[in-house]
Structure 1
Amino acid sequence: MSWLLASSPLTPISATFVLTNDGGTRPFFELFIEVRNDGTRSYCDFVPAVELDGVDIIGLIDTPPHRDSDFDFNNDCLSPGDVGVMRGVSRDVTEANFGSGSLLSFDAGESTFSEGIPLTAQPTLQGERVEAVPDGGFGLVGTVLPHRSIYNYALLVYPRDSRGLLVDELQAYPNELETLPAGSRWDFATDGTECTFAMDRRFQSWIDSPTSGFLAGSPREPRAVDVRQLAVRERVRELQGAR
């Protein structure tokens, strides 16, 4: 398989393909791409365009938490040297797309119009361990300790297999996106994946103010990139549920 890359400072450093027969009429395809910002400035608000042999792969890029420099909300950004993960999905990929002549094209769709400021004082994760979880399979469990009151907290975990490749996306939402007061403790358990794992890549996300951010119901008008990203997330959910 070969790559076709759009001109971009974001460099793919690994790619994993997972094709699952989940009982539907078409298999469920997942693509995990780790990308690194090899540029000299931050890039934000990714709406990637990815194709495998002409088949559209729908997804977004998760990044370390940043705050937009011009507005009071958080966004997805990669500072120089940062690594993010794109998880893409499709119901139109088959085993025939994995031949030696296959072509994967990748364009991160980054914005150069906003600058991200890395969020400081990340909540501490304590006692993390991999074990069987209530949803089935193996997940990451532990405790999150916020250093200040935060909102809409989410933890994304990308397990690695024995080769170091990403193979799944796991999520946890302690207190269901409600307030996590400063100094409190919240136990969490992600959803599960089929196999246990010893390595992973993690991203925490949160909002510092209850009135900042699109998800918190701010009265500000949504930007075009917000609308596009929400549409992509909805499409991903549709493809996951399709049979």
Structure 2
Amino acid sequence: MIVERLHVTERMKIVGGLLLLMLMAVLGIVAKTPTLTRVDIRLDEHLVPLRDAVLTLGAKGATVVAQAEVGAVIAVLVPVGLWLLRRRRDALITACLMAGSLAVAFAVKVLLAEHRPPQRLWVIPPDNAESFPSGHATVAAAVALLLFLLVRGRLRALVAILGVLFALGVGFARVYLGVHYPVDVVGGYLVAAGVSLVVVGIFDIPSIRRGLEDVGTPASGRHHAGRASRTMAERH
């Protein structure tokens, strides 16, 4: 019964992640409609009166720390560190979640080719021509999700709150700077959430989890572990 519940949980995570990615794709298609574009432009215009030197500096800083290059560095360096600490499952989840989020966001950008907000709203020039989904929001949300997955114990709740604030701050910054529509930010969040559920669901599959636990474990250790598992199973 325990194994069956685990299998159901894994399927729910993977299916849920795929559904979020499908929702993101539908949202991207809807974002190209004139009606939603007009609404998004009006929302962007409402932020123009809020602009001042301090907010603009902070928004630019958020843009720098959440750019795709930062996500690529995280996708490489953090997994290496985790692998050396023998947190192999966490290392692979980190690499797949971050690289997968970046890849999906880039692919959707190219396929949908949604235009940026009008140039009159730009505080800084955008880094590419495509608007949906926001790559910066994708990176920020992926980082927030990774912090929640990697940090355990008493600090987890605090880290989760800080991660959410970081993701929301980056999303606001991109709209504030006039280079994204609000729907682009939501799309970026959906990319990271969808990819994270799929990745975690895959690495929760018992055979994959056991395989990662066996990596680097001496054969004798695997033999004793396997015998202990069989003994426990026989008792139940």
TM-score past 0.5 threshold: no
TM-score normalised by L of structure 2: 0.23
Larger RCO (alpha carbons 8 Å, 6+ apart)? 2
TM-score normalised by L of structure 1: 0.23
Kindly name which structure, 1 or 2, has the bigger radius of gyration based on alpha carbons: 2
